[in-house]
Amino acid sequence: MLDIGRVQILTIDHIDHRGAWLRAGDTQVLLPARQVPEGSRPGSDVSVFLYLHAGEPMATIRRPLAQVGEFALLKVNKADQQGTFMEWGLEKELLVPFSEQPDRMREGRHYLVRVCLDDQGRCFASGRIQKWLETDNIELQEGQPVDLILWQFTDLGAKVIVNHRYGALLYRTEVRSGMKPGDRLKGFVKAVRPDGKVDVTRSRGGKEDTELAVATLLAALEPEGFVPWKDDTPAEIIQRNLGMSKKLFKKAVGGLYKAGRIELTGDGIRLKKS
């Protein structure tokens, strides 16, 4: 069976001057001669990406930056009357029709898009992110590890795409300075709300996070034996310098203080000498 727009492992049926002919059910797909791996022979398996060329299925050993059903940040190379064309790792560029652009895309800029198939089996890209996100029968569990792609910033934090399927919110306390749309992150499902909205977090929570926060604070203290942060330091400053929430910072401070390893001064935290 052909899975156009995705990577498949197919078996070589025969090889001729044009290349290797791969079996896909009752269909044979050409892998051009210049791309046939050295030592290949009939019966060998080859991992290839399938796409349409002049209306016919074609195989390549090159890998696109995103497959059908996936989101990625891609660069616009050029534009014409059909739309804009994006670089996605193959010789053939990826078309974004004007109808799939919320705002007109400009050459040289990067945009977050989803790779799709049209009704003729041709790959294209869409910048209308919300259109492709699933909102019903969400198959996520609280605490589940997930892959995230940062989509856009909001007053509450950042909208992210979960496992290339769902939209979710990453709260502002976990959005670090320097993050930008298209960044890929690891995270965990925090909650799936009754209205179908999803919240995610970059930390698993519990003892592991507290231990990591303590180690991070100690590492910050060790060079000079002092840091200028305290209970009333704004959460943004804590996040920027330590990469943790204000809540975790307080837990780390409390644990180190009870253990007698730090002292709290009017202007910050001082590491006690051993």
* DSSP code string of 162-218: ETTTEEEEEEGGG--TT--TT-EEEEEEEEE-TTS-EEEESS--SHHHHHHHHHHHH
CB atoms within 10 A of CB 61: 15
Say yes or no: do domains 7-60 and 207-271 share a fold: no
* pTM of the predicted structure, to 2 decimals: 0.75
Per CATH, is 207-271 categorized as 1.10.10.10?
yes
Domain range list for the chain: 7-60, 71-130, 145-201, 207-271
Domain 7-60 fold: OB fold (Dihydrolipoamide Acetyltransferase, E2P) (2.40.50)
Return the closest-CA partner of residue 77 out of 65, 60, 62.
65
pLDDT of residue 274: 65
CATH superfamily for 71-130 is Nucleic acid-binding proteins (2.40.50.140)
pLDDT of residue 206: 65
Question: In the chain, which residues have pLDDT < 70?
Answer: 205-206, 274
pLDDT of residue 205: 65
pLDDT of residue 193: 85
Domain 145-201 fold: OB fold (Dihydrolipoamide Acetyltransferase, E2P) (2.40.50)
Structural tokens at position 47: 């991992």
